[in-house]
Amino acid sequence: MATISDLSQDLAEEILSRLPLTFLRKIRFTCKKWNDLSKHRSFTKKQISVAKKRQSKDCQAMIMVMNYRVYLTSVNLLGTGSNVYPSIKRQGTLMGLNDANRRVDISTVFHCDGLLLCITKDLSSRLVVCNPYLGQTMWIKPRNSYHEMDSYALGYDKSLRSYKILRFVDYAEDQICEFELYSLETSSWKVLDVTPDWDLGPHHHRGLSLKGNAYWYAKEKGDWVAGDDVLDFLICFDFTRERFGPRLPLPNGHTSRAYSDATVTLSSFGEDQLAMLFQCKFTFWIKIWVTSKIEPEDASFLPVNMIPLTGHQYLADAGSFFMDEKTNILVVSGKVVGHVPRCIA
Q: Using CB atoms within 10 Å of the CB of residue 8, give its burial: 0 to 12 exposed, 13 to 18 middle, 19+ buried.
A: exposed
Same domain, 237 and 330: yes
What's the whole-number mean pLDDT along residues 130-153? 85
102 assigned to some structural domain: yes
- Given a cut of 50, whether residue 283 has pLDDT beyond it is yes
Q: Which of 195, 228, 257 is the last residue before a domain boundary?
A: 195
Rounded distance between C-alpha atoms, residue 334 and residue 323, angstroms: 15
Same domain, 191 and 216: no
* pLDDT level of residue 323 (50, 70, 90 thresholds): confident
Please count the structural domains in the chain: 3
174 assigned to some structural domain: yes
Q: Using CB atoms within 10 Å of the CB of residue 195, give its burial: 0 to 12 exposed, 13 to 18 middle, 19+ buried.
A: exposed
Same domain, 168 and 211: no
- Given a cut of 80, whether residue 31 has pLDDT beyond it is no
In the DSSP assignment, the letter for residue 21 is: H
144 assigned to some structural domain: yes
Q: Which of 132, 166, 195 is the last residue before a domain boundary?
A: 195
Rounded distance between C-alpha atoms, residue 113 and residue 291, angstroms: 19
pLDDT tens digit sequence for 160-188 = 878 999 999 877 666 678 999 999 999 99
9 assigned to some structural domain: no
With contact defined as beta carbons under 8 Å apart, do 324 and 59 qualify?
Answer: no
| Residue 305: per-residue pLDDT | 81
Q: In DSSP terms, which residues pair with 198 in a beta bridge? A: 220
| Residue 108: per-residue pLDDT | 87
| Residue 188: per-residue pLDDT | 96
- The whole-model pTM stands at 0.79
Rounded distance between C-alpha atoms, residue 123 and residue 125, angstroms: 5
Task: Give the residue with greater pLDDT, 187 vs 73.
Answer: 187
| Residue 163: per-residue pLDDT | 93
Same domain, 229 and 319: yes
| Residue 340: per-residue pLDDT | 44
Full domain range(s) for residue 173: 95-195
* pLDDT level of residue 277 (50, 70, 90 thresholds): confident
Residue 82, number of CB atoms within 10 A of its CB: 5
Q: Which of 144, 175, 195 is the last residue before a domain boundary?
A: 195
Same domain, 201 and 338: yes
* pLDDT level of residue 221 (50, 70, 90 thresholds): confident
Same domain, 241 and 323: yes
Same domain, 145 and 206: no
Same domain, 168 and 131: yes
Rounded distance between C-alpha atoms, residue 223 and residue 199, angstroms: 8
- Given a cut of 90, whether residue 134 has pLDDT beyond it is no
* pLDDT level of residue 68 (50, 70, 90 thresholds): confident
Q: Write out the DSSP string of 168-219.
A: EEEEGGGTEEEEEEEETTTTEEEE-----SEE--STT---EEETTEEEEEEE
16 assigned to some structural domain: no
Same domain, 69 and 123: no
* pLDDT level of residue 341 (50, 70, 90 thresholds): very low
Share the mean pLDDT of the chain: 77
Same domain, 278 and 180: no
106 assigned to some structural domain: yes
Helices vs strands, H then E, count in the chain: 5, 24
Same domain, 189 and 201: no
With contact defined as beta carbons under 8 Å apart, do 222 and 171 qualify?
Answer: no
301 assigned to some structural domain: yes
Same domain, 313 and 335: yes
24 assigned to some structural domain: no
